[in-house]
């Protein structure tokens, strides 16, 4: 009788919030749809596609659009079926069983998951008490533990904090490990190393179309690296990993620079309004939570009774995300932010006596 291995038996599926809720502020998606002209062009392209043929294995059109939008050489760009797939490819390609990989906790949970599947040795490096990065501590841990791969997000999910690129550069140059810098939220900040990627022989930068571009459904991500690392990723990935429709929609959307700029401005206005609303609640109900600085499309609360807030909101049809010991709230449409802030204040008001 066949039995699952111990490794597989221990696996638990990724646990997103499922169900229908009027206000979804849990997944860090954009609340804005793709521009209508992109959708119309995609419909036209669909009618012209040879769906009986495999897609372009190198996703050249999508990579060229990414290259043009960000101003990086196209030969440095590799497309993936979401950055999640690229993370998996990186772990299976650059780590062997028993190798040490490091994460900087709290961070995106799928890093540790992929390390577990690869049977690599995890090294968890804690962030500072204020959730900033301790660069010297990270460098020391990577050297002491003989870390082969260091992976972390900047700006960070779930803390929403960005580390200055000068400090990230110092970190990359000070370790022998492959550094995987996940810039999934860097469209909301200005500390990217994207254009400097080729200057490092130990750096892969990840980008996604799921946050700022409103394309979470099509699963499109990119890796940017120097020639050797980019070539290794192309060789290691599945031959036809990005489907033809995703390639076409991604290329069309990434070519709309003015629409992207307008959408990003609207997202940042929403983020700032949400942050200001939470600041006001913090002043009105002192001691209930700490609001971390944000350089993303979400706001993060350090809050001892975060589960209570989560349950209260969920009962009202509003969902946020609890992860890494924190409460994470994605910016939504203005009316969604307003409903969240009103419900959060109701929670703080009704539980004030308990908190005191």
What pLDDT was estimated at residue 195?
96
What pLDDT was estimated at residue 295?
98
Per-residue pLDDT of the chain (356 residues; tens, 9 = 90+): 998 988 888 788 877 788 899 999 999 999 999 888 888 998 998 899 999 999 999 999 999 999 999 999 999 999 999 999 999 999 999 999 999 999 999 999 999 999 999 999 999 999 999 999 999 999 999 999 999 999 999 999 999 999 999 999 999 999 999 999 999 999 999 999 999 999 999 999 999 999 999 999 999 999 999 999 999 999 999 999 999 999 999 999 999 999 999 999 999 999 999 999 999 999 999 999 999 999 999 999 999 999 999 999 999 999 999 999 999 999 999 999 999 999 999 999 999 755 55
Report the top-level CATH class of 36-255.
Answer: alpha beta
> pTM for the full model?
0.96
Q: Hey, where are the domains in the chain?
A: 17-32+259-350, 36-255
Q: What is the 3-state secondary structure (H, E, C) of the chain?
A: CCCCCHHHHCCCCCCCCCCCCCEECCCCCCCCCCCHHHHHHHHHHHHHCCCCCCCCCCCHHHHHHHHHHHCCCHHHEEEECHHHHHHHHHHHHHCCCCCEEEEEECCCHHHHHHHHHCCCEEEEEECCCCCCCCHHHHHHHHHHCCEEEEEEECCCCCCCCCCCHHHHHHHHHHCCCEEEEECCCHHHCCCCCHHHHHHCCCEEEEEECCCCCCCHHHCCEEEEECHHHHHHHHHHCCCCCCCHHHHHHHHHHHCCHHHHHHHHHHHHHHHHHHHHHHHHHHHHCCCCCEECCCCCCEEEEECCCHHHHHHHHHHCCEECEEECCEEEEECCCHHHHHHHHHHHHHHHHHCHHHHC
CATH number for domain 17-32+259-350, candidates 3.40.50.1360, 3.40.50.960, 3.40.50.300, 3.90.1150.10: 3.90.1150.10
């Amino acid at each position: 009788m066949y039995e699952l291995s111990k490794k597989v038996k221990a696996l638990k599926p990724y646990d997103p919030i499922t169900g229908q809720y009027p206000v979804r502020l849990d997944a860090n998606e954009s609340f804005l749809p793709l521009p209508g002209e992109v959708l119309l062009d995609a419909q036209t392209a669909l009618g012209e596609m040879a769906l009986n043929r495999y897609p372009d294995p190198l996703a050249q059109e999508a990579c060229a659009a990414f290259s043009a939008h960000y101003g990086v050489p196209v030969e440095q760009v590799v497309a993936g079926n979401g950055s999640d797939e690229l993370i998996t490819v990186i772990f299976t390609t650059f780590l062997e069983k028993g190798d040490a990989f490091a994460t900087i906790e709290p961070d995106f949970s799928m890093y540790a998951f992929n390390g577990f599947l690869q049977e690599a040795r995890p090294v968890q490096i804690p962030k500072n008490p204020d959730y900033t990065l301790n660069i010297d501590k990270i460098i020391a841990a990577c050297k002491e533990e003989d870390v082969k791969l260091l992976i972390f997000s900047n700006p960070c999910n779930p803390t929403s904090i960005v580390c200055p690129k000068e400090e990230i550069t110092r970190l990359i140059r000070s370790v022998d490990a492959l550094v995987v810098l996940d810039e999934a939220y860097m469209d909301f900040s200005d500390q990217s190393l994207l254009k400097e990627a080729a200057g490092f022989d130990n750096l892969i930068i990840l980008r996604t179309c799921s946050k700022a571009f409103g394309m979470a459904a099509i699963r499109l991500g990119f890796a940017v690296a120097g020639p050797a690392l980019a070539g290794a990723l192309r060789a290691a990935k599945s031959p036809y990993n990005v489907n033809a429709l995703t390639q076409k929609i991604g290329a069309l959307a990434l070519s709309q620079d003015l629409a992207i700029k307008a959408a990003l401005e609207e997202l940042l206005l929403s983020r700032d309004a949400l942050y200001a609303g939470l600041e006001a609640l913090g002043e009105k109900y002192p001691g209930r939570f700490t609001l971390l600085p944000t350089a993303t499309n979400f706001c993060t609360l350090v809050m001892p009774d975060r589960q209570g807030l989560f349950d209260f909101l969920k009962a009202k049809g509003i969902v946020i995300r609890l992860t890494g010991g924190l409460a994470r709230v994605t910016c939504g449409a203005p009316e969604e932010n307003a409903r969240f802030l009103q419900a959060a204040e109701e929670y703080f008001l009704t539980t004030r006596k308990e908190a005191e």
